[in-house]
Amino acid sequence: MRITNPLIGGFYPDPSVIRVATDYYLVTSSFEFFPAVPIFHSRDGVHWRQIGHVLTRKSQVHLEKCGYSQGIWAPTIRYHSGTFYLITTNVGHGGNFYVTASNPAGPWSDPIWIDEDGFDPSLFFDDDGTVYYCRRNGNEIVQASIDMATGQLKQPLTPICRGMCSPDIEGPHVYKINGRYYLMCAEGGTRFGHSETMARSDSPWGPWEQCPHNPIVTHRHLSGHPIRDVGHGELVQAHDGSWWFFCLGTRQREYDSASILGRETFLAPVIWTEHGWPVIGDRGIIPEYVEAACAEDAEPHNEGGRDDFDAQKLNFCWIFIRNPSDADWSLSARPGFLRLNGSPVSLDDEDSPAFIGRRQDRFEMCAQTLLEFEPHIGTEEAGLCLFLTKDYHYEIAVTVRNGKKAVVVKKRIGDIYVETSMCEVAAGPVFLKITSTHRRYDFFGGNNPHHMHPLGSGLTKFLSPELAGFCWTGVVIGMYATGNGKRCTVPADFDWFEYTSI
C-alpha cells in the first residue's frame, strides 16, 4: 500500500515509537498544551489512532505560566517486563522525570524525578538488567545507569558523545542490534540544519565508531524539497522483520512558504548494509510516498469531522493552553454544548485562557462552529481562534461594537494588534467559519449559514514558527471566550464544531 507522508499531520514532533508483540505505540512532544504527550496505537506501524494522553493530571504536569514552547519536550516511550515507561522533560518546571503504566492508554503514574539539567532523556534496558539513562547536557550526550524503582542515578553522568557532524547534538537513543550497541542522535538544530547521525560500539559507554555515511538522514541540502527540517528519530523493527525510521519534519508548499502546521511525524523504510549500517529512505532522504504492508484491522488517525459535544468527555484531539481551570469550561452545564466561561485571561496572556482547540493538520481546511453568546459589553468576546503563541494569533469573534452585537476579525502579530473588519449580527445563534489554503485564511460570520458575511483574510505565514522565532509548535484551531481583564457576565455555548478538508 502506498502511504503519503506525513504519517501523522499537525504538530506532533519528536516521535518515539515502540513495538510490543504486534502492537505499536507512538508518543510526541506537546509543549505548553494540556493534556500532555498524546499517545497513539497501531497494528501495522503505519495507520495510527490516538488512544489518549500520558500526562492528564496536574499532579503529573505543571504548566501554569510556562512560556510558549516550554513545558513537555521530547518524550521517549519504552517497554520492559510488562511495564510501559515514558521519560521526558518539563522545561521550567522540574526537569527530567518518568512515569509508568501497565496499560499505555492509562492511567499513568505520578512522576519519578531524576534531575533538572538538560533535556531529551532516553532509557535503554540492557540484556543483563542494567538500565541506562542518557540525555543532552550542553553540547554533549551524557549517560549513567539508573535505579528504575527510585530514579536515582548509580554513578555520575558521563559524557559519551560530543557530536558526529555538529556540536549541536540532542535526542539520543541507544539500541542493541545483533549484539552491538548503536547510538542515534539528532544534530544541527531542529530547523534547516537538522539531521540524524549514528555510531556503534561493543559497549554502551563507547568508544563509538561513526557511520561512514553520516548523517544518515538530512534534507539540509534540499532547499526545494517539500519536506524539510527532518531529524530527531526512532528506529523500530516491525513484527515482519522489516525496519522503519520515524522522525519529525515540516511541510512547505513553496520555496518561501512557512511551516504553519508545525513539525509533524514522518516515516521512512530502513535497510541495513552488509557492514551493519542503516540506510534510511532514499539514501538519507525522507520520501513523500512510502510503500508499506498494512494490517487488515488498521486503525485510522482522527482525520476530523464534526463534534456535537454530546459525550461526557472531550475527544482526544482537543487540548488546552496550559493547565485549564475547571471553572472555564464544561460539557455538562448545558448538555449537547461546549460551554466556555470567559475569564479575565485573554489570548495575549502567558496564562490559560478559556480555550479548547485541535491541531491544524492540513493546509486546505474548513473549521466552523455554531455559537450562542449574547455579550453585554465590548470587552466580552467569544469565537474561533487560530493560535500559534500569545503573540501570534488570529480570531473571528462575537462581541459588542457601537452598542450592538457584532462579529469582528482580530489579528495579533508580534507587537502589532489590529481589528480588521466588523459586521453587525442579530441576537441569537451565530455561525463562524474559517477556511485556509497554504497561503491564507479567510473568515466568515453571520446568522445564516448559507449567507455568511465574508470578513477578510489573513496571511498564513504570519502564524508560522519561522516568523514567531523560538516556537516548536504549529497552529491550533480552537474555540475561546474572554472578558479581556474581566470575567464574562454570560457563558459562550458552542453547539458543534466541524473540521473538514476543502
* 467 DSSP 8-state letter: H
Q: How far apart are the first and last CA of the chain?
A: 25
- Are 247 and 232 within 8 A, CB to CB? yes
Task: Give the bridge partners for 243, in sequence order.
Answer: 237, 270
Fold agreement between 2-291 and 305-501: no
Distance CA 483, CA 486 (A): 5
Distance CA 218, CA 215 (A): 7
Task: Give the bridge partners for 185, in sequence order.
Answer: 197
Distance CA 211, CA 157 (A): 25
Distance CA 476, CA 482 (A): 17
- Are 143 and 157 within 8 A, CB to CB? yes
CATH of domain 305-501: 2.60.120.200
Distance CA 242, CA 72 (A): 31
Three-state DSSP at 213 gives coil
Active site residue 493: no
Distance CA 138, CA 277 (A): 28
Domain-by-domain residue ranges, the chain?
Answer: 2-291, 305-501
The phi, psi pair for 89, rounded to 5°, reads: -125, 130
C-beta neighbour count of 395 within 10 angstroms? 24
Amino acid, single-letter form, for residue 496 = W
Q: Catalytic pick from 14, 196, 381, 395?
A: 14
Instruction: Name, in order, each residue with C-beta under 8 angstroms of 326's C-beta and a sequence gap of 6 or more.
Output: none
Active site residue 196: no
Position 296 scores a pLDDT of 65
Q: Catalytic pick from 170, 234, 328, 361?
A: 170
Per-residue pLDDT of the chain (502 residues; tens, 9 = 90+): 899 999 999 999 999 999 999 999 999 999 999 999 999 999 999 999 999 999 999 999 999 999 999 999 999 999 999 999 999 999 999 999 999 999 999 999 999 999 999 999 999 999 999 999 999 999 999 999 999 999 999 999 999 999 999 999 999 999 999 999 999 999 999 999 999 999 999 999 999 999 999 999 999 999 889 999 999 999 999 999 999 999 999 998 887 778 999 999 999 999 999 999 999 999 999 999 999 888 766 665 656 799 999 999 999 999 999 999 999 999 999 999 999 999 999 999 999 999 999 999 999 999 999 999 999 999 999 999 999 999 999 999 999 999 999 999 999 999 999 999 999 999 999 999 999 999 999 999 999 999 999 999 999 999 999 999 889 999 999 999 999 999 999 999 999 999 999 9
Instruction: Name, in order, each residue with C-beta under 8 angstroms of 357's C-beta and a sequence gap of 6 or more.
Output: 318, 319, 320, 321, 385, 387, 476, 477, 478, 479
Instruction: Count H helices and E strands in the chain, helices first.
Output: 1, 40
Distance CA 53, CA 425 (A): 39
The phi, psi pair for 271, rounded to 5°, reads: -120, 155
CATH topology of domain 2-291: Tachylectin-2; Chain A (2.115.10)
The beta-strand segments (E) located in 341-446 are 354-359, 365-372, 381-389, 392-401, 404-413, 416-424, 430-436, 440-446
Q: Which of 232, 222, 211, 123 is nearest to 169 (CA)?
A: 232
